[in-house]
Amino acid sequence: MIRDRNWFSRLFDGANYIFLTLFAVLCLLPLIHIFAVSLSGRAPATAGFVSFWPIDFTLENYEQVMGSRNFLRSLAISVARVLTGTSLSMILVILTAYPLSKTPRVFRGRTIFIWFFVFAMLFDGGLIPSFLVVRSLGLLNTLGALILPNAVPIFSVILMMNFFRDVPKELEESALIDGASHWRVLWHIYIPLSLPAIATLTLFSAVNHWNAWFDGLIYMTDTANYPMQTFLRTVIVTLDLTQVGINPQDLQRLSDRAIRGAQIIVATVPILIVYPFLQRYFISGIKLGAVKE
């Protein structure tokens, strides 16, 4: 450990700590502001008196949001999409990555298959043809439109494949000699040894599903089928609070801003809950694929 003890170096250290602290606080301030607004009463929230601490503290904004049937319905759709979409994706990613991680001697045709997937990742048919395909398959207004089109995230397949390739070959070879099938090798050797990578990709997939909203906007023609983030868009961005379905008398006692704030916070909480786990894994997850040299 090197110690720089001259005054200039110490000054730099002090300034550095202050700068980084300010930067991090600045990143969070907008969120804290909205949180404070969401806990404030009608008058101070509407008038814009609230900065970073609630005024006329109330939980009623949250009670209204959580009591709104439209909001809860969209929440249920989002939960369903996260659970089914993430499981489907992970099964497909693992099943696709395993054969691709083999050498062409073990898996003949690997080169062709790999280019089949890589080309599909590099060239994009574009928004309109993708939309027309999903529509022609009769998926509009179904959960399938939200989980099937991106059920095989190809970049995740490549990350998984690279991870599988680092599994020691000796384990697999001895198992195969003992008569184990590829199914057993995958299940008993590869999956247990790849749990950190699987956990990383699972969390990322879940976060992506939770955060996705554009597909809901284009594939759901009936707003009753909107997942939560798409629903929030109508409330927050197009400012159509009638969508929330809160009864008008209640709405008069509350601030639009505070109700929107409460919904933003509710949408953020699940991310905050998985965030510590996510953070533990994503650094290793990123290293395992993205900067592999």
Partner 1 sequence: MTFKQYMKRAWPLYVMIVPGLIFVLLFRYYPMYGVVIAFQDFSPAKGFAGSPWIGWENFEFFFSLPEFGRIFSNTLIISISKIVADQVGAVILALLLNEARRILFRRTIQTLIYLPHFLSWIVLGGILLDILSAGGILNQAIGALGIKPQLWLGSNDWFRGTVISSGFWKNVGFSTIVYLAALTAINPVLHEAAAIDGAGRFRRIWHITLPGIRPTIVLLAALSLGDVLQAGFEQILTLYSPAVYRSGDIIDTFVYRVGLISAQYSLAGAVGLFKSFIGFGLIVLSYWLADRYAGYRIL
Minimum Å gap between C-beta 206 and partner 1 is 11
CA distance 36 to 214: 28
- Minimum CB distance to partner 1, residue 265 (Å): 9
DSSP code at position 233: I
Q: Which stretch binds partner 1 (CB under 8 A): 63-71, 192-200, 243-251, 255-263?
A: 255-263
Alpha-carbon gap, residue 220 to 145, rounded angstroms: 8
- Buried b / exposed e along 210-248 (16+ C-beta atoms within 10 A): bebbebbbebbeeeebbbbbbbbbbbbeeeebebbebee
Chain positions 270 to 289 lying near partner 1, rule: CB under 8 A, are 271, 275, 278-279, 282-283, 286-287
Residue type for position 64:
Q
Nearer to partner 1, 162 or 251 (CB): 162
226 lines the binding site for partner 1 (CB under 8 A)? no
* The two structure tokens encoding residue 6: 């001259």
Q: What is the dihedral of CA 27, 28, 34, 40, to 10 degrees?
A: -150
CA 173 to chain centre: 37
Residue 84: both structure tokens together: 């089914």
Which residues, numbered 155-214, are part of the site for partner 1 (CB under 8 A)?
A: 157-158, 176, 181-183, 186, 207, 210-214
| Shortest Å, Cβ 191 to partner 1 | 13
For partner 1, which is the closer residue by CB, 73 or 165? 165
Q: Which range touches partner 1 (CB under 8 A), out of 4-12, 63-71, 167-175, 194-202? A: 4-12
Q: How far is CA 29 from CA 20, 23, 24, 53, in A?
A: 14, 10, 9, 11
Footprint of partner 1 on residues 22-81 (CB under 8 A)?
Answer: 23-25, 27-28, 30-31, 33-34, 37, 48, 51
Q: Which is nearer to partner 1, 120 or 195 (CB)?
A: 120
Task: Indicate which single residue of 83, 195, 237, 273 sits in contact with partner 1 (rule: CB under 8 A).
Answer: 237
Task: Tell me the C-alpha to C-alpha distance, in Å, between residue 193 and each of 111, 171, 210, 211.
Answer: 25, 11, 28, 29
Q: From the list 156, 257, 259, 281, which residue makes contact with partner 1 (rule: CB under 8 A)?
A: 257
Which of the residues 89 through 148 are near partner 1 (CB under 8 A)? 92, 95-96, 98-100, 102, 106-108, 113-114, 116-118, 120, 122-137, 148
**Nearest residue (CB) to partner 1, 92 versus 193:** 92
| Contacting range for partner 1; rule: CB under 8 A; set: 14-22, 56-64, 65-73, 243-251 | 14-22
For partner 1 (CB under 8 A), the number of binding residues is 100
For residues 90 and 201, the answer to whether their CB atoms sit within 8 Å is: yes
Q: Is the CB of residue 104 less than 8 Å from the CB of residue 111?
A: yes
Closest CA to 226 of 72, 62, 63, 87: 72
